[in-house]
Chain A
Amino acid sequence: KDQVFQPSTVASSEGAVVEIFCNHSVSNAYNFFWYLHFPGCAPRLLVKGSKPSQQGRYNMTYERFSSSLLILQVREADAAVYYCACGVADKLIFGTGTRLQVFP
């Protein structure tokens, strides 16, 4: 079965670099997408790719079956749910989401 796996919770101190890991069992996945979701809002894309990528404070690592999202200089305002998704054929398969907790 095609599945995407993420830790349920990650905690970090303000100012640190936090890493959220994702791996999958999806056959023929071609890409990773990392989304940010605040409750009551639309999930929005942070970074995507089939190679290491960076968008502002967000870095993405890439291996064929895994990816990590690194958030630099994490802030309390970054506390949210982060979704990893794999692109396969016409679909995007999402993980269960990782809740980031940020402590001062």
Chain B
Amino acid sequence: NAGVTQTPKFRILKIGQSMTLQCAQDMNHNYMYWYRQDPGMGLKLIYYSVGAGITDKGEVPNGYNVSRSTTEDFPLRLELAAPSQTSVYFCASRKVQGGLNTEAFFGQGTRLTVV
């Protein structure tokens, strides 16, 4: 199994451009998450999904959109890139059945720079 795969690994965007960060998992996990990591700030939750067709806002959703049309994929869309969105983005997934004691599995991250 590949686990959680994020593409691209690196990207430089100009202010105002748009892009989609891709995330795919092959573990049949129902829950998926997007986090951003900024120095000294830890991992902040942007959006999450508990299943196909269901998405919810996290702590820092402004400037982002998500969709979950399949169980496997959870793309993150930036419509009008701003320098404040320069960050490392992590996608994660977990299998939740009955209890919530399961851990999340992470991708390797996408480093995005907006100039």
Q: Which residues of A contact B (CB under 8 A)?
A: 4, 6, 8, 30-31, 33, 35, 40-45, 48-50, 83, 85, 87, 89-97
Q: Is the CB of B43 within 8 A of A40?
A: no
- Shortest Cβ distance from residue B68 to the other chain A in the assembled complex, whole angstroms: 13
Q: Which residues on B sit within 8 Å (CB–CB) of A43?
A: 43, 90, 106
The 6 closest A-B pairs by CB, nearest first: A96-B42, A94-B43, A42-B106, A45-B103, A43-B106, A42-B108
Q: Is the CB of A90 within 8 A of B42?
A: no
Most buried by B among A31, A43, A50, A83: A43
- Shortest Cβ distance from residue B64 to the other chain A in the assembled complex, whole angstroms: 16
- Asked if B107 is at the interface of the complex by the 8 Å CB criterion, the answer is yes
Q: Is the CB of B106 within 8 A of A44?
A: yes
What would 24 A/B residue contacts be, using CB atoms closer than 8 Å? A31-B100, A31-B101, A42-B90, A42-B105, A43-B90, A44-B106, A45-B103, A45-B104, A45-B105, A48-B101, A48-B103, A49-B101, A83-B42, A83-B43, A87-B100, A90-B31, A90-B48, A90-B50, A90-B56, A90-B96, A93-B45, A94-B42, A94-B44, A97-B42
- Shortest Cβ distance from residue A6 to the other chain B in the assembled complex, whole angstroms: 8
A4 to B108, CA, bound (A): 23
- Asked if B53 is at the interface of the complex by the 8 Å CB criterion, the answer is no
A61 to B81, CA, bound (A): 42
Which of B14-22, B33-41, B70-78 touches A? B33-41
Most buried by B among A6, A50, A93, A95: A93
A97 to B96, CA, bound (A): 25
A94 to B105, CA, bound (A): 14
A44 to B92, CA, bound (A): 11
| Smallest Cβ-Cβ distance to A97: which chain B residue | B42
Q: Is the CB of B50 within 8 A of A94?
A: no
Q: Which residues on B sit within 8 Å (CB–CB) of A92?
A: 33, 45, 92, 104
Most buried by A among B42, B58, B90, B106: B42
